[in-house]
Chains A and B, each alone.
Chain A
Amino acid sequence: MPISPRSIPARRIPGGATALPRARVVTLFVALALLALPFADLSLGGHDPWAALARMGQGFLRPDFGAVERIGRAIWLTVAFACCGVALGAGAGLAMAPFYHLRAVRWLCIALRSVHELFWALMLMQVMGISPLTGVLAIALPYMGIFAKVFSEQLDEADQRPTEVLPRTDPLSRFLWARAPLALGAMKHYTLYRLECGLRASAVLGFVGLPTLGFQLDSFFRVGDYGAASAIMICYVALIASIRVWLRPALVLPWLVASIVTLALIKSPPMGPGALMRFVTQDIVPSPLRDGWDGAALLGWLGDIAAHEALPGLFATLVVAQIALILTGALAFAGFGLIVPRVTSRMGRMAGHMSLVVLRSFPEYMLAYLFLQILGPSMLPAILALALHNGAIIAHLLGREGETLVPQLRADAPRGLSVWGWELAPRLFGPFLALCLYRWEIILRETAVMGLLGIATLGFFVDSALAELRLDRAVVLLIATGLMTAGIDALSRWLRRGTGAGLRGAIRDDCC
């Protein structure tokens, strides 16, 4: 038991000597995106975007709060699903965090979080129908994987000295007395932040039929009621922007209880008996195996899925994601100065904050849905949505770092564009690269799921398989999607280590 002072585990600091030159990594990614461009369908599909935009613009300028009851209910259910899902995810994640170093737990968590909330919802619906539990689990399952990982990192990064000086004590007491209290603050902060992500996820679940905001928005759009759609979006942005006001630690319990009661009171159509058994023992069993083992048929079946669905879907997903990633980076790098003092005037910063908040509040999926109405079906709406949302998040995080840098600058430092280019951009390039690499995985996940909107990414094939009630094919495609996500995650981690582009814990955690 060492008693010499032990420092807290060092975190990588950007800017150190590195094995992979950062410029080369950036060049490589830009080259990949350029290579992807010829394969991307960026057409307007015979759509006249200006006419659609004009119709929508008119509606949006005159928000119609007439349907207040439906709007209020959709918003409240969005909050309720988010609260329950995040609470369940955080609780289960906390229980798994101390065991995260065990390979079985770690792999379970990776599998859970590599499947998107919407995909979870689609699969769970096969078993439970459109019930409240479907929505709650669709959020909770991937979130528990994420919570377990982040909580275990936070426990590891907390001061280890108190547990080292503890006399031989049983593991539970050691954890509760000398480990958990040190990480509790960071965990609470992260959980509250994650609720914001949960609100977005919950809103999007409406697009697959759960009674949250996305559902209401979709039904307003279908009937062309742009005024009501505008009203519901204004309410949604206000809800997210005011989260620090209505979500205080003291109010967590009341919100949670109210959410549970609300969801418990929802009546959902009962599923036939044995739905779960049928799902597990028949629906998801590969069709060539349903009448007994047949290895050759299974291989042929898998080959067919790979050739006609998984690989084309994967290719389209990568094409969209790589282009979106470069656009994300460009927007974020050019835009983060908007919210930094000394670069932008006070009025300019307010406008910058406003636009970043709006773009951050809307999940990629919802933005893509909106752009699809304007631009018609192609990869363009997806790329724009991904770039705007993720670019706004990175710009916001970089801008906040920039805010802390500005007071430390020398007194005679320049202002405006010069301070951005000479002082801030070079210092923040490491964190910028790290954030882009973090978001790379998220962009891919989201790209895959946008297939549900009709773009030919992996989600499109999952959706078609589900529509044909071929759940076995859907499961194979979901596993392929999960493997892609996990692979990109590993690659991103390797690149981050290689380029020495690290992040402080706090800004990394704020990155959902």
Chain B
Amino acid sequence: MTLLALQRETLGHGGRTVLSGVSLTLSPGERVVLLGRSGAGKSTLLGAVHGQLAPRLRVALVPQDNALVPQLSVLRNTMMGRLDDHGALYNLRALIRPPAAARAGVAALLDTLGLLADIDRPVGQLSGGQKQRVALARAFWRGGALLIGDEPVSAVDERQAQGLLDELRARFDTSLLALHDVAMARAFATRLVGIGRGAIVFDAPPAEVSDADIAALYTR
């Protein structure tokens, strides 16, 4: 069973083609990492996949720009991952006074991400790395069949990034990420997808992708 099958699709936004002839499959249990220069079209592809899957699967999303609400606390930003599970009145009450159960659950999650001390701070006061971890916390709190992440660990240091990816792997069977750290991508992925010159250049398990293949993506 595959979750997703794109066949020879043309992707873009605003009438501008970014990627053409895109074919991509995603099966449960796979961890697919997209590689490519910035501007190559990774975000476009992630957006297209999210657009296809979100209506029928529970998808957790970590967008590149985090998309947090700076005025709200870490706790409430994290809780936002589950707003669609409840009705408007419940959410209104929760906004004014988060339920104890949600607070306890989020606190446990934030503890593993090293953010427990900041649970009641407005997100606007946090550093870039902390904000990115809040965006991850929101996706983790949401849970689901699949996590789609656009450079989800780009703003934290390498050791922390490794820990976060391990946590991600433990929580989600299936994931589709864009990463820029090649070593980290090799260690994490079950499949690497290279994007360059407006198309998918390779799509294979890490062992079958050579360093030269990857280097070719990043040279003009």
Given that A4-B44, A164-B67 are known contacts, is A181 also in contact with B72, CB under 8 Å in the complex? yes
Cβ–Cβ < 8 Å partners of B91 in chain A? 169-170, 172-173, 176-177
Within 8 A of B (CB), among A115-163: 159, 161-162
Q: Is A167 an interface residue (CB 8 A)?
A: yes
A177 touches B71 (CB 8 A): no
Question: Beta-carbon contacts of B43-61 to A below 8 Å, as 1s and 0s?
Answer: 1101100110010000001
Q: Convert A182-199 into 0s and 1s, putting 1 for each residue whose CB lies closer than 8 angstroms to a CB of B.
A: 101100000000000000
B152 → chain A closest CB, angstroms: 12
Interface residues of A, dominant DSSP: helix
A3 and B88 in contact, given A166-B80, A177-B83, A182-B70 (Cβ under 8 angstroms): no
CB-based nearest B residue for A160: B67
User: Does A5 sit at the interface, judged by CB under 8 A?
Assistant: yes
Q: Which residue from B50, B71, B84, B95 sits with its C-beta under 8 Å from A3?
A: B50
**B67:A177 contact, CB within 8 angstroms:** no
B70–A176 CB distance below 8 A: no
Instruction: Decide: A181 near B71, CB < 8 A? Known: A4-B43, A170-B91.
Output: yes
Q: Does B13 contact A (CB under 8 A)?
A: yes
Report Cα–Cα, A159/B95, bound state, in Å.
19
Chain A residues within 8 Å of B84, by CB:
166-169
Interface centre among A1, A5, A165 (most CB of B within 10 A): A165
State A373–B80 Cα separation when bound (angstroms). Answer: 62
Residues of B near A165 (CB, < 8 A) are 61, 63, 67
User: Which residues in window 59-100 of B have CB below 8 A to A?
Assistant: 61, 63-65, 67-72, 76, 80-81, 83-84, 86-88, 91-92, 95
- Counting contact residues on chain A (CB < 8 A from B), the size range is 20 to 34
A147 vs B4: C-alpha distance in the bound complex, in angstroms? Answer: 47
Give the Cβ gap from B39 to chain A, nearest Cβ, in Å: 11
What residues of chain A lie closer than 8 Å to B70, measured between beta carbons?
182
Contacts of A170 in B (CB 8 A): 87-88, 91
Q: How far is the CB of B151 from chain A (nearest CB, A)?
A: 11
Q: Check A2 for interface membership: any CB of B closer than 8 A.
A: yes
Q: How far is the CA of A4 from the CA of B14 in the complex (A)?
A: 12
Residues B83 and A5 in contact, CB atoms below 8 Å apart: no
Q: Does A178 contact B (CB under 8 A)?
A: yes
User: How far apart are the CA atoms of A182 and B83 in the complex, in Å?
Assistant: 17
A180-233 residues with Cβ-Cβ distance < 8 A to B are 181-182, 184-185
Interchain CA distance A266-B72 in the complex, whole Å? 42
Determine the residue in chain A with the shortest Cβ distance to B83. Answer: A169
Taking a contact as CB atoms under 8 Å apart, the answer to whether A1 and B72 are in contact is no
- Count chain A CB atoms within 10 A of each CB in B54, B63, B87, B148 and give the residue with the most: B63
Q: Which residues of A contact B80 (CB under 8 A)?
A: 162, 166, 177-178
Residues of B within 8 A of A181 (CB): 69, 71-72
Bound CA–CA A161/B135 (angstroms)? 12
Q: Is the CB of B44 within 8 A of A172?
A: no
Q: Is the CB of B72 within 8 A of A3?
A: no
Please, which residue of chain A has its CB at the minimum distance from the CB of B50?
Answer: A3
Question: A162: which B residues are within 8 A, CB to CB?
Answer: 67-69, 80
Query: Which residues 175-195 of B sit at the A interface, judged by CB distance below 8 A?
Result: none
Tell me if A178 and B69 are in contact (CB < 8 A). Answer: yes
Q: CB distance B50 to A4 under 8 Å?
A: no
Write 22 A-B pairs (CB below 8 A) sorted by A numbering: A1-B54, A2-B47, A3-B50, A4-B43, A5-B43, A5-B65, A162-B80, A165-B61, A165-B67, A169-B84, A170-B87, A170-B88, A172-B92, A173-B83, A173-B92, A173-B95, A176-B91, A177-B83, A178-B69, A178-B80, A181-B71, A182-B70
* Seed contacts A4-B64, A170-B88, A174-B83; 18 additional CB < 8 Å A-B pairs: A2-B13, A3-B47, A3-B50, A3-B63, A3-B150, A4-B13, A5-B65, A159-B67, A165-B61, A166-B83, A170-B91, A171-B88, A172-B91, A172-B92, A173-B92, A177-B80, A181-B69, A182-B71
- Interfacial residues, chain A to chain B (CB-CB below 8 A): 1-5, 159, 161-162, 164-174, 176-178, 181-182, 184-185
